[in-house]
Amino acid sequence: MITSTRRVSPDKSEVRIAFSLDSTQDRNDVAELSQNFPDLEQRLQPVPPCVSLRESVHVYREHCKMAREFHQVKHDIAMLEERKRKLLAEVVEDDQVAMEIARLEEEFNLLTEENRNLASVHMERAQQLESLWLTDQTGPEDS
């Protein structure tokens, strides 16, 4: 591990920098993690770490993990919005079907009432016809 301490200006405190040159595993891991996240704005893209600093690599990994989670959440939201759109379309269709059923029930009730009235009138006319027929049959005999 190499450590260096420097004073940037006389009125500022010292800055300490530490890094190790023998950690090649972190470099390989970072190369594997190096990704582009098209869902993220450019300013939110993970910045490749300073591979010599473990904390930088750790922050980069966490940032990539959050970016993947963001992508998954965004995908889930899109799926849920599509499902919502389909369900709303079904609700509209169900409402239209319910209105059509109500219209048909009303029409059925009106036609049923009209049918009753027509059957009643038919019955009355049939009785009148029969009585006229009987009167006609008995009438000429009397004359």
Is residue 59 within 8 Å of 48, Cβ to Cβ?
no
**Exposed, middle or buried, 28 (CB in 10 Å: 0-12/13-18/19+)?**
exposed
Rounded to two decimals, what is the model's pTM?
A: 0.54
Half-sphere exposure in the Cβ direction for 138 (13 Å, CA): 5
| Series of mean pLDDT values for 10-residue runs along the chain (143 residues) | 61 63 53 72 89 92 93 96 98 97 98 98 96 82 52
In the structure encoding, which two tokens stand for residue 120, read together?
Answer: 């009643």
The pLDDT of residue 35 = 74
Mutual angle of helices 54-142 and 24-33, in 10-degree steps: 30
In the structure encoding, which two tokens stand for residue 19, read together?
Answer: 């890094």
Partnered with residue 19 across adjacent β-strands are 2
The pLDDT of residue 40 = 86
